[in-house]
Amino acid sequence: MKRVAIVKSRFNEEVTSRLLASCLKTFKSEGWSDSQLKVVEVPGGWEIPWAAQELAKTNLYQAVVALGCVMKGQTPQNDHLSRSLMQSLHRISLETRVPIVLGVITPNNEKQALARTKGKMDRGHEAALAALEMIALREELRGT
């Protein structure tokens, strides 16, 4: 049975809840059931890579989707967090050979963040589609 894990940050909850809802809706519209989707919540963006790595290392999931929102603040902390988070997710994907799909957005403000949770810029939907594509590619390349 194919399975996907989704790691969702609780920080910026209004935004990340919308990302998760659209991600789950997309998987379900593609025929995936609740039993195939595991959602894990973490406190913030900093904790996403650890959870993604733990899930990928189980070999139970064909992909892991990372959902979060690191909004620009008045200090450069968001830049450091975003850079580290993305580099870590990339490294985890390469080391575990499990696709880690980036659904973490880095908007300048709340208006931009909310705009990326609906319509043409729905990043939760895009993350689910990317995961599905990577699962198919992984199967194709491995001959399964």
Beta bridge mates, 39: 6
> How many angstroms separate the Cα of 31 from the Cα of each of 27, 37, 117?
7, 11, 22
* Mean predicted lDDT score pLDDT of the chain: 95
Query: How high is the pLDDT of residue 25?
Result: 98
pLDDT value for 131: 98
Centre a 10 Å sphere on the Cβ of residue 41 and count the other Cβ atoms it contains: 16
Give mean pLDDT, residues 59-86: 90
Lowest mean pLDDT among 48-57, 60-69, 111-120: 111-120
- pLDDT confidence of residue 72: 87
Q: Domain coordinates of the chain in residue numbers?
A: 4-142
Contact between residue 4 and residue 131 where contact means Cβ atoms under 8 Å apart:
yes
Which CATH number is associated with domain 4-142? Answer: 3.40.50.960
80 or 22: which leads in pLDDT: 22
User: How much is the pLDDT for 144?
Assistant: 65
Question: Which tens digits make up the pLDDT trace of 94-110?
Answer: 999 999 999 999 999 99
DSSP bridge partners of 100:
64
